[in-house]
Structure 1
Amino acid sequence: MKNYLNVEEGKNSWKRYVSTTILASVFMLLGSIIYIIAEIIMVAADESGKSYVDFDSGVAVGINANLDFLLSHIMYICWIFGLWIGIRFIHKRKMKSLITANKRVNWKKVIWSFGAFSLLLIVSQLIDVVFNHSDYSWNHVSLKEYALLVLITLLLVPIQTTTEELFFRGLLLQWVSKKVKRPILLAIIVGLMFSIGHFANPEMNKSIILVGLDYIVAGFALTYIAIKTKSLEITIGAHAANNMFLALFLTTDDSVFGSIPSLFKVANTEPVANLIWSIVMFSVFYILCRGKIKKEEAADKDQLIA
């Protein structure tokens, strides 16, 4: 099985990696500025005078939550566009090279990962509901609002999660792996980069240490899985499953998604329990991924022998 970290296509000097990283980051910043301006315009246009921009959470309070959720993806669209420019014209290679070293992206693997991680999320959430049922309540959303949320989630959340995967576990992981060869150390370095990018999320107000560790566990686990499976296909599916599940089914007062019309509202999220669940889930997911990759490698060997 070819390893996507061993990039053979294009030009990949450290200067080009620096240039592409800066370029993509500038486009991300540009998208963030456009989003903030859009929020300010929406608040200014609100005749009730009750809406405002909460700059701590980066969410416009008092305006249509679905509209705000939709506009928040401007940043990711700009970000992935900047990344594409860098890969295409600075590195002179295809975006696919950030995902796999094979001729084509294995979408079956992406779908498998999405399904497997979704199942783990459902099981873990049902267990939590059994023990903490008083924390969950029906959100009383209208069918129209929820249908719009489903549409936005299906169309845009995969762009958000894939952009993060391509930047952190694609571009940056390929860059760092040129010098760092030990999988665990490599996963720690790039996993921390990914985690730090989430430290500004409002969920951190619950507990800087515990929620921060939760992000670090997720960042390390997904990076390690990408390294061991030699492609981004599995992490793209898992990341999309996680964020889409949260958007469609669970909302909290301190959610990074804002007050979107998810089906259920969670009154109390316990950082310790969340951290434990993350460790358990990613451990189980890694075991599943390892089993799948071993089967694929065995099948490849059988084909070569035949």
Structure 2
Amino acid sequence: MYIEQAFKGKSSGARYLFGTIAIFFSWVILQTLPFIIALGFKYGYNEKLIAVFSDQNRMMSDFSSNTTFFFMLLGFALSLLVLFLLNEGIHKNSITNLTTSRNKIDWSRFWFSFSTIAILNVILILVDYFFVSPDDYVFNFNLVPFLILMLIAVVFVPLQTSFEEYFFRGYLMQGIGIKTGYRWIPLVITSFIFGAMHYANPEVTQMGDLVMVSYFGTAIMLGVMTLMDEGLELSLGFHAANNLVASLLVTADWTAFNTESILRDISNPTADWEVWIGALVINPIILLIYAKRYKWNNWGTRLFGKVQQPIVSQVSEINDIEDLSEIKKDY
């Protein structure tokens, strides 16, 4: 069972509390650090740097879109490294156990999910471009900037999405799960936190609060996917494909990824009933496809069952106690 993999390492509440705080603040710091360093080289570390950095629009105008995209993703890549190091250092647990309940990471699952979502997204975007709303797009392709973008995106977008999956559906899912004792509690909590973290995205400013339905709906779907499949492989593939297609094929001035993509959306959209179609129709269909492919069963147990510590892990925790003389004698 996926959540129970946390018991194979050091799994005290104090370790998870410290680890969560350390990962979160590392993430916040590393999101801004590349920009501070680059601006420092340009302006020097003085009052002018502070003025430029405090004005986000001015700061972004100092860099090309590809450079800004690279710095943004670099912060996620470094945060993923921090997460892995803390998992190994604090919890003495392996990346494999943080990824899956299987003996080794099943990359075929990752690639199935990646290819399915990539093909689906490309089809939906091209149908909209050619047949539904052609006036909402402009052809934006420029060879050299696009090749640079593609190199950055292919390398760093999977690292960005992997950090989010390993933090929310991995580290927090396992930590909250083993401490609350129920599988549905970390599903709800991590989905809420994941959705809420996207509230600052420019898409929300442009389209309105209703677009949050999409973020919360996607978070719940990825959480269900993780619990039903007992691993992160499918959600890792889904998230990587979704963001990679978005960054390469179509972006807009009002999206978090403002890149040198092939197409640019020039519409002025607002969230409407379509977000409910995505959350209540498309997401369940995707889950059914995966369920059919991997023969998921016992939905009630996997989503709402209890998390139970294996006996082997209980004995291991006893052996971690410093003074074992009387306990070992009785044992």
Provide TM-score, normalisation by structure 2.
0.79
SS class of match (1:206): helix
How many corresponding residue pairs? 286
Cα–Cα, structure 1 residues 54 and 109, in superposed 2: closer, same or farther, change >3 Å? farther
Q: Which residue does the alignment assign to 2:261?
A: 262
Alpha-carbon separation, structure 2, partners of 1:212 and 1:39 = 33
Q: Could you tell me the percent identity over the aligned residues?
A: 24
d(CA) in 1 for partners of 2:66, 2:186:
38
Runs of 5+ consecutive residues of structure 1 not aligned to the other structure = 46-51, 298-306
Once residues 13 and 132 of structure 1 are traced to their aligned partners in structure 2, the CA distance between those partners, rounded to angstroms, is 53
User: Residues 143-182 of structure 1 correspond to what in structure 2 (within 5 A)?
Assistant: 143-178=143-178, 179=180, 181-182=182-183
Q: What RMSD, in angstroms, separates the aligned Cα atoms of the two structures?
A: 2.4
The structure-2 alpha-carbon separation of the partners of 1:42 and 1:174, relative to structure 1 and needing over 3 Å to count, comes to: same
Contact kept, 8 Å, 2:115 with 2:241, in 1: the verdict is yes
Q: Report the CA distance shift for 1:235/1:132 in structure 2 as closer, same or farther (over 3 A).
A: same
Which whole-Å CA distance do the structure 2 matches of 1:217 and 1:113 have between them? 18
Query: CA, structure 1 residues 132+190, in 2 after alignment: closer, same or farther (shift >3 Å)?
Result: same
Aligned to 2:196: 196
| Residue aligned with 1:265, SS | strand
Partner deviation per Cα, 1:135-158 (whole Å, 9 max, x = no partner):
01101x321111111110110000
In 2, are the aligned partners of 1:214 and 1:274 still within 8 Å (CA)? Answer: no
Match of 1:135 in 2: 136
Counterpart in the other structure of 2:3: 5
Aligned letter for 2:135? S
- Structure 1 stretch 110-119 or stretch 277-286: which is displaced more? 277-286
Instruction: Tell me the SS of whatever aligns to 1:272.
Output: coil
Query: Does structure 2 retain, via aligned residues, the 8 Å contact 1:53–1:60?
Result: no
Q: TM-score, normalised by structure 1?
A: 0.86
The letter for the 2-side match of 1:285 is I
Cα contact 2:35–2:71 (8 A) shared by 1? no
Which runs of no fewer than 5 residues in structure 2 stay unpaired?
45-51, 299-331
What is the one-letter code of the residue matched to 2:105?
Answer: V
Q: How far apart are 1:164 and its partner, in Å?
A: 0.6
Q: How does 1:25-174 map to 2 (within 5 A)?
A: 25-38=24-37, 40-41=39-40, 44=43, 55=55, 60-61=60-61, 63-129=63-129, 130-139=131-140, 141-174=141-174
User: 1:301 maps to what in 2?
Assistant: none
List structure 1 runs of 4+ shifted beyond 3 angstroms.
38-45, 52-59
Deviation at 1:55, TM superposition (A): 4.9
The 1:38/1:164 distance shift into structure 2, 3 A limit, reads same
* Higher helix proportion (structure 1 or 2): 2
- Structure 2 partner of 1:48: none
Q: Distance in 1 between matches of 2:230 and 2:119?
A: 23
Please report how far the alpha carbon of residue 296 of structure 1 lies from its aligned counterpart in structure 2 after TM superposition: 11
* More moved, 195-204 vs 145-154: 195-204
Q: Contact between 1:24 and 1:79, CA under 8 Å: does it hold in 2?
A: yes
C-alpha deviation, 1:53, in angstroms: 5.8
Contact 1:43 1:53 in 2 (8 A): no
| Kept after mapping to 2: 8 A contact 1:96/1:105 | yes
The structural deviation recorded for 1:128 is 2.8
Structure 2 distance, partners of 1:66, 1:273, is 33
